[in-house]
Structure 1
Amino acid sequence: MTDAPRRPDPIPLTVLTGFLGAGKTTLLNRMLRDPALADTVVIVNEFGEIGLDHLLIEGVTEDMVLLGAGCLCCTVRGDLITTLEDLLRKRDNGRITPFRRVVIETTGLADPAPILHALIYHPYLVMRYRLQGVVTVVDAVNGSATLDDHPEAMRQAAVADRIVLAKADLAGDTAALRARLAALNPSAPIDPPDVPAATLLGGFFGLDGKAADVRAWLGAVPETDGHAHDVNRHDAAIRAFSLTSDAPVPRPAFEMFLDLLRGGHGPKLLRLKGLVAIADDPDRPVVVHGVQHVVHAPVTLPAWPDDDRTSRLVLIVRDLDPAFVVSLWDAFLGRPRIDAPDAAALTNNPLAIPGG
């Protein structure tokens, strides 16, 4: 009796986004010259204007070209899911060189949520790709005005794992914009445009697909005290905060907490990511990744990546009171507060969740 073939390791995938004119093209062209992107597939959409002519070597297929850095580049002319599946078929059948990672460059008007949904929800893609992170480019010159006028730009910045501040040399003082971005998304480092590609792509799963710096991936977001601190009126609807637990979390309580949060407030949950110690196996933490009402099946790590065994969940929400979420978390952990919701009532009627 022969053993079943081993499932291939998931391929790390990074989403590169940013509003129109932010500087994604310049950043991506620079990254494509970096040896760290060798054996990478770059997916651009049909509206892309990436200057690839000086990097082209030869055509591979009608929609795919081989780049000088050893990367492949293809154009999305339809469904992103179809494109990702087609790449896997070509890779598995030996029609293209096996690639080690994927970078998706979105159109400037894109809301990243649908792309993230596909990457963490599709039953086949979730086995073959692993979302490594979201990199958002922000224009230092026009960034504040863009955030004021375009909700897509707000969402792009809010869901980022890293923010690249482009054109800072033309903007003068960027302190106010940096403060606004930090308040909008405290867990995302703000990098200059010359940051090495390995740093931008070295998210939680690392360039080799293994766990890297969990602390950097989660970011340092203090646990909320339930009080809003407005940066300005445009950002008031979006909040970032974290939930923690020093003690391992009972699996049923954790699963019910996630079910109630996404079931009653899914559209308001812009991003969720975390590392949690489950009570029945506390030595092997689970990684949680979610966007709106879709939460990726938790991935169990073989061991903790460092000595800190605190369970940490980072949430970015829109039009949802962080104090309510903290109260719900406390209730399911058995540390209810005076203003905690009635967990039994919520279980029987998820639609009754306050603020829904």
Structure 2
Amino acid sequence: MTAAKTPVFLLTGFLGSGKTTLLNAALRTPAMENTAVVVNELGEIGLDNLIIAQASDNVVLLEGGCLCCANPGALHETLADLAGRRARGEIPHFQRVIIETSGAADPAPLLNVLLGHPLVTGSYALEATVCVVDAQHFLASRQNYPELDKQAAVAERLVISKRDLADAGPALAFLRELNPEAEVVEGPAAAFASCARSRRPLGSLASLGPIRRREHVSGIRAFSFRPPAVTWAGWSAWSRLVKAEFGERLIRVKGLLRIEDGGEVVFVQGVQGVFHPPQRFRDWPDADHANRLVCIARDLSEAEIAITLPALSTAPGTQAVYSLKDLQERQARP
């Protein structure tokens, strides 16, 4: 029997947004016992308010069987080290991992590590990206720090902090346009709930509603599509096409698709031109039995992405290569 993979939560949010406050609250919750936390430096988690049981190398043992691990270098090495030490019985058996990023961190490289690095994917599975948004300062700060939009745009869950200091309405209205499929949650229990216990399976792909378009200062927008038919050859051709044509401007791709030539349903993900092995299902995981594809992009229009979608229907068994120019010319033909 294959051992279940350890769920990982990626916690993002700008400097001072309240990530550490949320994390500390989570570690005091009985439901979050046996959690491993990875931070850039141990001092960033605010350990003064927690009871430290033992320290060893870069790992600090906290009450409730929780761990706090500094990430001095590459994230994949830190996670692999934790998994190895757990297997050898050197540290407690943690049941989940929360990775707290630095306030100015671009989440995309970390997502690619979590979704595709062989030292990570054998033992861990990305559960959700959680972004903490400061109701008091977010809208003003994002004018000068475009990474705030990116952190919020790629998240499956949003936590609005500092509601007692400012009206959360304006920030919430903006976020619902920037990332309409994200789930807005309150408190650590909801922020770090497993997808099995969450009200919305598979994060933002549980349901696709209408997305209202608005030009943001950062140029980041989300688009949803319903491709009619997808083949393995088509998914491969489309992935190559958008990587070549759009590159890092296509910040994140998430899709729940039925593959015509195999009949299986797959959950696909890509981050800035890097696409990762799909997660396979025997059947649709929810009541919506239609293909859905969400694209979060910077400085791309809906039309530019939509024109690439016919590549998804490439005939099975072929090695088609497309260019944006080819598809534009094909569309222009009478």
TM range (shorter): 0.7 to 0.9
Letter in 2 for 1:242: S
Whole-angstrom distance in 1 between the partners of 2:226 and 2:183? 21
Whole-angstrom distance in 2 between the partners of 1:154 and 1:328? 25
Matched, 1:184 2:166: no
Show the counterpart of 2:332. Answer: none
CA deviation map 1:148-181 (0-9, x unaligned): 110221111111111111001111x332221111
Letter in 2 for 1:269: L
Q: Secondary structure, in 3 states, of the residue corresponding to 1:132?
A: strand
| 8 Å CA contact 1:271, 1:315 repeated in 2 | yes
CA shift for structure 1 position 196: 4.3
| 8 Å CA contact 1:48, 1:107 repeated in 2 | no
> Does the C-alpha gap of structure 1 residues 107 and 48 become closer, same or farther in structure 2, counting only changes over 3 Å?
farther
CA shift for structure 1 position 278: 0.8
Tell me the TM-score normalised to structure 1 length: 0.83
Q: Secondary structure, in 3 states, of the residue corresponding to 2:142?
A: helix
Q: CA RMSD in A?
A: 2.6
Q: Secondary structure, in 3 states, of the residue corresponding to 1:286?
A: strand
Matched, 1:305 2:279: no
Range moving further from structure 2, 41-50 or 107-116: 41-50
Letter in 2 for 1:103: I
CA shift for structure 1 position 298: 0.4
Q: Secondary structure, in 3 states, of the residue corresponding to 2:307?
A: helix
Q: How many residues align?
A: 324
CA shift for structure 1 position 36: 1.9
Residue of 192, 205, 209 corresponding to 1:218: 205
Matched, 1:84 2:79: yes
CA deviation map 1:177-230 (0-9, x unaligned): 2111111111112233xx242x222354x47xxx98436532544467xxx832
CA shift for structure 1 position 53: 2.9
Whole-angstrom distance in 2 between the partners of 1:351 and 1:83? 43
> Does the C-alpha gap of structure 1 residues 263 and 98 become closer, same or farther in structure 2, counting only changes over 3 Å?
farther
Q: Secondary structure, in 3 states, of the residue corresponding to 1:149?
A: coil
Matched, 1:125 2:120: yes
Mapping for residues 1-356 of structure 1, pairs under 5 Å: 6-46=1-41, 48-171=43-166, 173-192=167-186, 195-197=187-189, 199-204=190-195, 206=196, 213-214=200-201, 216-218=203-205, 220-222=207-209, 229-230=213-214, 233-235=216-218, 237-245=219-227, 247-282=228-263, 284-330=264-310, 332-333=312-313, 347=321, 349=323
Q: Secondary structure, in 3 states, of the residue corresponding to 1:13?
A: strand
| 8 Å CA contact 2:237, 2:311 repeated in 1 | no
Letter in 2 for 1:287: F
Whole-angstrom distance in 1 between the partners of 2:109 and 2:298? 16
Whole-angstrom distance in 1 between the partners of 2:20 and 2:145? 20
Whole-angstrom distance in 1 between the partners of 2:65 and 2:306? 47
Letter in 2 for 1:241: F
CA shift for structure 1 position 328: 1.6
Q: Which runs of 5+ in 1 are unaligned?
A: 1-5, 335-343
CA deviation map 1:31-68 (0-9, x unaligned): 11112211210111127522223423422412112211
> Does the C-alpha gap of structure 1 residues 347 and 93 become closer, same or farther in structure 2, counting only changes over 3 Å?
same
Tell me the TM-score normalised to structure 2 length: 0.88
Point out 4+ residue stretches in structure 1 off by more than 6 angstroms.
Answer: 350-354
> Does the C-alpha gap of structure 1 residues 221 and 317 become closer, same or farther in structure 2, counting only changes over 3 Å?
farther
Whole-angstrom distance in 1 between the partners of 2:50 and 2:42? 19
CA deviation map 1:208-265 (0-9, x unaligned): xxx98436532544467xxx8325x514x111011114x5522211221122112321
CA shift for structure 1 position 91: 1.2
| 8 Å CA contact 1:16, 1:103 repeated in 2 | yes
CA deviation map 1:282-320 (0-9, x unaligned): 3x3111122111111001123322232111111111111
